[in-house]
Amino acid sequence: MAKKVRVCFHDRCFDGTSSAAVFSRFYRERVDPQAAFAYTGLTHKPAGSLFDDGMFDGDENVIVDFKYSPSPKLTWWFDHHQSAFLTPEDAEHFRRDTSGRKFFDPSYKSCTKFLAVVAGEQFGFRAEPLAELIRWADIIDGAQYESPEAAVTMNVPATQIALVIEASNDDLLTTKLIPELAARPLAEVARLPFVAEQFRALYRRHENSMEIMRKAVEADRGVVFFDLTDHPLEGYNKFIPYYLHPDCYYSVGVSRSPQRIKVAVGSNPWRQPTGAREKNLASICERHGGGGHARVAAISFEPAEVERARRAAREIADELRQ
């Protein structure tokens, strides 16, 4: 019987999905060619444990681009977020690990590139066939687009696939995409019927979201604030605020989905704050129960906690305006 490899990844995220694809190809080429893969998308929750130990049901259990779990069933882990550990005890558990299969480096802009580098240096994996996927994961997750226009027009396969991953209502779509991303060029993946049809519908919604945000955004002292809780726009493009207000330094937005209220906090990749204005957004969000990276972070609240989320978002916007 083939070995079962359960890969848990950051869902609705181009980097998380790409990380799962790179890991799958690495594992099949360098560890076990006969392995059978099963995928579980993980999302950040408002409170409590993010993991159900029952989800680690494989012979090998993997987490990529998501927080650490001290479960003895976890055999591989790769992450690059500053807020990778739920507790100091989890961080200490990771430091004591001697498996040689758990890796963390917050200096990388994408987990996909981090995973590819580690797999190459330590396990002899040749990632060249996935070079395009790795490059775009670094651009998208690291916000390294050449301009705000490039980030919102979505006229290349990678950004089209990213929109589908981030905004589709199909909970199984990302798990269907992972084997395709591991095996095909991005242009071929973008042309797959289940991707192309979703993109056409979602791009129309994207254009509508730009008009909604144009009216909702408040710009003041280098910070844009917007509240989208009255609109079904959790999967909005996070670069729209900088496209609409290119002179801003930061954005703070509140959005709603059936699972949570999300406060997203970001910095403008094309107008970076300096000196006293430069803030660590992950550290700010950690004070409210969230986390992320120094330049992009988020907080999740229960679906009924709209007012609490709004207060936190206003507090953060006020702090960033100082």
Convert the pLDDT of each residue in 13-50 to its tens digit: 999 999 999 999 999 999 999 999 999 999 877 655 67
Residue 301, both tokens: 């609240």
> 3-class secondary structure for 218-231?
EEECCEEEEECCCC
Question: Model confidence over 92-134: pLDDT tens digits?
Answer: 999 999 999 999 999 999 999 999 999 999 999 999 999 999 9
- Is residue 38 left, alpha or beta, with left meaning phi > 0 and alpha meaning psi from -120 to 50? beta
CA 43 to chain centre: 9
Q: How many CB atoms lie within 10 A of CB 220?
A: 11
Q: How far apart are CA 265 and CA 285, in angstroms?
A: 8
Q: Are 264 and 166 in contact (CB under 8 A)?
A: no
Question: In this predicted structure, which of 7-16, 108-117, 233-242, 277-286 has the lowest mean pLDDT?
Answer: 233-242
The one-character DSSP state at 129 is G
- Specify the residue for token string 């995928």: 39
- pLDDT surpassing 80 at residue 70: yes
Q: Are 62 and 6 in contact (CB under 8 A)?
A: yes
Residue 216, both tokens: 């909702």
- pLDDT surpassing 80 at residue 232: no
β 4-10/76-79 pair status: unpaired
Give the rounded percent of residues in the chain with a pLDDT score beyond 90.
87
User: What was the pLDDT predicted at 48?
Assistant: 57
- b/e 87-98 (16+ beta carbons within 10 angstroms → b): eeeeeebbeeee
Q: Which domains does the chain have, with CATH numbers?
A: 4-194 (3.90.1640), 217-320 (3.10.310.30)
Q: How far apart are CA 8 and CA 6, in angstroms?
A: 6
Q: How far apart are CA 234 and CA 253, in angstroms?
A: 10
